[in-house]
Copies of this chain bind each other. A is one copy, B any other.
């Protein structure tokens, strides 16, 4: 068992590594040639120009102003300066509310830590149980609940504290839910007109032999919403086209690379091979080859567009229907249209950037089956993922390699390589799996058929949390694979499970403290350094970039990554709630994590991340629900733990807690969740009235006409496809779109650009 001194050393080490990251960051960020790596958000918003265009030559690349090196922690107050309202304007509501998850962690745990340290630590420490038991123990154990003798009435302090913590957490949760709800409603009703305020996504349009999808949709809504219907846009199945465009872009990159190479070294024309990865096949002149390839693809793209244009089958049975008023859209989105609730499904259209196009065409029964398949697969993934990995590990052992690739035998039998491989190989399969896990979960969500990227990420986040909960948290507490755990759960009585886990909890405190420092502190400091984007940017910059536009494309702003970030925070909340009463000394470490990450992510959101979509904080009910789940779990664990401490008379007091907590959850669900699903009519009506008074002649139809065009038709800048756009707008007068504002519209999200591919995620 680790002593306090050990933990001190570990903390010092991790603090040091975090400090080194921060220093490196402070140094790198003020170098002009890294400007696009550390401030991409400002470039994307068009508010910053490259500092490399001005000043002396050296000053273009290296910061020569030595004063700026002294203020290397400047970014911290800067990150806190921007007020919340500006931040919403700058980075969207999602980002701001995401930051509130860290805030909620602080709000919950600052008072909890204070109370726990001042009350529970003395209560625990002034016992001599561990000494009297004559077992080896550490200082940490002496501060924990383990130090209290069986049947002691001191346990009442812990029970009272658990009540206090529960009520405080519920209070904070309630307040936050109320705040986020009102922020969301304010945002939705904000001054700015947005296409999704007027638009409803209609899915599962039934087939009709006489009418096209577009006509059918138009007639249906003209009949059933006669006073409010404005216009509709059908959805084209452009998945093939998107793939071709993607391929063309790649080839274009290669062409750029070779052209740049040639321009730098005019004597030899670069060559390439036509086969796999440019490694095999015929040797050809690279520039000529890629020019020809791009021409071919351009032709194919034109053909594909023609096909989509002509073929009625390329229209999927879904449409974006727009209404004259927000009221009309709110009514349509919230009501059922026909007897059969599996056709003409209506719901709020996601924001244009947020639409996940490939999933718009899935019929109802199919969706239902997909959900079943994914649920079952996820169960197996969570509990049995070790089985294929163990299999791969056995293959990847030295003997396995020797057998399957005998020619490698002489190499792997060298002593040095052998020992490296033996230490390295068994872990690599697991490590690879864990790296790809978010991608696998995202694929599962995509297969399940959600139509918005935000929904995909929310679902992935839930799954990732469950996976972490089972395999990281429970897996660390009860040693053994998830599969063995499952066996334990199935074959123990329900109350015994909580006893088993509850008893193991205090013993794992030091492990989790170390883990918080490595994964939390150092991990977050690594995030701000952006090592991978830094390297990638400079590689691209060297090999591909010819123009300023290329340089813009070379930037990889990244995004918050809700699907992996939020589950991580939740794991810390869970640890905090579980250990608050049991081993309170863990709490300060969590506080440092929350405060530090808040700082770092606020900085990143202001300066780095590109907002992929705007869901108006639609994820908050999930965040709330997971904290509630963690609370209930911690209460049950405490019950299990105390039941072994001969404090059985406390059980009735503890059993009320999960019931009250679950009731509180239900109450909040009823009180706030509707605001995250629907849009109240009063708000819609107010906004409509205001707008009609202020801007009575606005051409709404023109504004909405091309809001929901598949991004592949929009982004294809090189071939401005008049034909396509003309077809889409054929039945209306087109209002001139302001190309000047193009810069301000955020880049399309990476997920919706192309069909789902594994490596693309």
| Residues of chain A having any CB pair with chain B under 8 Å | 181-182, 185, 223-225, 227, 330-331, 334-339, 341-342, 344, 364-365, 368, 371-372, 376, 490-496, 659, 663, 666-667, 670-675, 678-683, 685
Contacts and interface: CB of A to CB of B under 8 A. Distances in A.
Contacts of A342: 670-671
B490 A368 contact: no
B663 A368 contact: yes
B339 A335 contact: no
Contacts of A680: 335-339, 341
A224 B682 CA distance: 6
26 contacts: A185-B339, A223-B685, A224-B681, A224-B685, A331-B335, A334-B336, A335-B335, A335-B678, A336-B679, A337-B680, A337-B681, A339-B675, A339-B680, A341-B672, A341-B674, A341-B680, A365-B667, A368-B667, A372-B659, A372-B663, A376-B659, A490-B493, A490-B494, A490-B495, A492-B493, A493-B496
A679 B341 CA distance: 10
A291 to B, nearest CB: 53
B339 A682 contact: yes
Nearest to A663: B372
Contacts of A663: 368, 371-372
Contacts of A672: 341
Interface centre among A334, A339, A496, A685 (most CB of B within 10 A): A339
A339 B494 CA distance: 41
Contact of A334 (B334, B364, B667, B685): B334
A341 B339 CA distance: 27
A494 B338 CA distance: 43
Given A368-B667, A663-B372, A681-B224, A336 B674 contact: yes
Contacts of A339: 181-182, 185, 675, 680, 682-683
A437 to B, nearest CB: 24
Given A334-B335, A337-B682, 15 more contacts: A182-B339, A223-B682, A224-B681, A225-B681, A331-B331, A331-B335, A336-B678, A336-B680, A341-B671, A365-B667, A371-B666, A372-B663, A376-B659, A490-B494, A491-B493
Nearest to A492: B493
Contacts of A225: 681
Nearest to A376: B659
Given A368-B670, A490-B494, A670-B368, A335 B681 contact: yes
Nearest to A331: B331
Given A341-B675, A495-B491, A368 B682 contact: no
Contact of A670 (B364, B493, B683): B364
A679 B224 CA distance: 13
A675 B338 CA distance: 9
A334, A342, A667: which has the most chain B beta carbons within 10 Å? A667
Q: How many copies does the complex hold?
A: 2
Nearest to A334: B335
Contacts of A338: 680, 682-683
A493 B491 CA distance: 5
Contacts of A671: 341-342, 364
A236 to B, nearest CB: 27
Contacts of A372: 659, 663
A712 B633 CA distance: 51
A350 B182 CA distance: 32
Contacts of A670: 341-342, 364, 368
Contacts of A337: 680-682
A494 B672 CA distance: 35
A372 B666 CA distance: 10
Contacts of A490: 493-495
Which of the listed residues A344, A364, A372 has the most CB atoms from chain B within 10 Å of its own CB?
A372
A753 B372 CA distance: 48
Which of A182, A492, A493, A679 has the largest number of chain B CB atoms within 10 A? Answer: A493
A335, A344, A490, A683 — which one has the most chain B CB atoms within 10 A of its CB? A335
A18 B659 CA distance: 48
Contacts of A683: 338-339
A493 B339 CA distance: 45
Contacts of A341: 670-675, 680
Contacts of A336: 334, 674, 678-681
A344 B671 CA distance: 13
Nearest to A367: B670
Nearest to A342: B671
| Centre residue among A337, A672, A679, A682 by max chain B CB count within 10 A | A682
A401 B680 CA distance: 64
Nearest to A494: B490
A331 B323 CA distance: 15
Contacts of A685: 223-224
A491 B670 CA distance: 34
A494 B493 CA distance: 6
Nearest to A662: B372
A733 B679 CA distance: 37
A166 to B, nearest CB: 15
Nearest to A365: B667
A337 B679 CA distance: 8
Give 6 nearest A-B pairs by CB, closest first. A341-B674, A372-B663, A334-B335, A338-B682, A491-B493, A336-B680
Residue from the set A185, A344, A659, A680 with the largest chain B CB neighbour count within 10 Å:
A680
A708 B341 CA distance: 31
A678 B663 CA distance: 27
A470 to B, nearest CB: 17
A223 B327 CA distance: 12
Contacts of A181: 339
A208 to B, nearest CB: 15
Contacts of A335: 330-331, 334-335, 678, 680-681
A676 to B, nearest CB: 10
Nearest to A379: B659
Contacts of A185: 339
Most chain B Cβ neighbours within 10 Å, of A344, A659, A670, A678: A670
A342 B365 CA distance: 35
A712 to B, nearest CB: 32
Q: Which of A181, A364, A681 has the most chain B CB atoms closer than 10 A to its own CB?
A: A681
A223 B264 CA distance: 71
